[in-house]
């Protein structure tokens, strides 16, 4: 490797400056691309998006949010459910016929695939969204009998 200086700067340092400039440009380009993608790359709309800018009727979209507490009702046919998805700003009623995933419960996240029909979102498929909290089943405030039952249920 040559250590002769070109204009007082070692080639090593020249390369270092070049790499730093290239890295800054690269990160800038990446951030710009990510910013431009910010709407298109989202996996679902939240209820506030649907209320602010309603999509065409019948176009396939995804709706994500929290299943509101107390809103989940099963119809008399036993497999059709109605519930309300909210994000704290807006609420959208949802209808779904079929089998729900295990984690689909009230007060928990959901992503519904389907379309708007009138004011109701008709879902073909439901995906449960897990939040970032990992908590073991609380056994501290249970009686020993209850704790034993929980253990039996989980085995």
- Binding residues for another protein (CB under 8 A): 1, 12, 15-16, 19, 22-23, 26-27, 29-30, 34, 37-38, 41-46, 64, 100-105, 108, 111, 125-139, 154
Least separation, in Å, of the C-beta of 25 and another protein?
A: 11
CA 21 to chain centre: 35
Calculate the alpha carbon distances from 75 to 63, 80, 92, 98, 113 in Å.
22, 6, 18, 12, 20
Least separation, in Å, of the C-beta of 117 and another protein?
A: 22
DSSP 8-state code for residue 137: P
* 74/125 with CB nearer another protein: 125
Least separation, in Å, of the C-beta of 66 and another protein?
A: 13
Tallying the residues shown for the chain, one arrives at 155
């Amino acid at each position: 490797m040559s250590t002769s200086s070109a204009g007082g700067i070692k080639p090593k340092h020249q390369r270092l400056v070049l790499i730093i400039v290239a890295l800054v440009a690269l990160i800038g380009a990446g951030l710009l691309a990510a910013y431009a993608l910010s709407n298109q790359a989202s996996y679902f709309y939240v209820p506030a998006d649907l209320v602010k800018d309603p999509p065409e009727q019948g176009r396939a979209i995804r709706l994500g949010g929290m299943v509101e507490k107390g809103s989940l009702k099963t119809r008399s046919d036993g497999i059709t459910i109605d519930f309300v998805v909210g994000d704290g700003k807006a609420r959208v009623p949802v209808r779904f016929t079929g089998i729900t995933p295990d984690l689909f419960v009230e007060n928990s996240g959901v992503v519904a695939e389907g379309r708007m029909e009138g004011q109701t979102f008709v879902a073909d498929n439901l995906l449960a969204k897990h939040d970032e909290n990992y908590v073991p089943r609380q056994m501290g405030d249970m009686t020993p009998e209850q704790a034993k039952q929980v253990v039996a249920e989980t085995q």
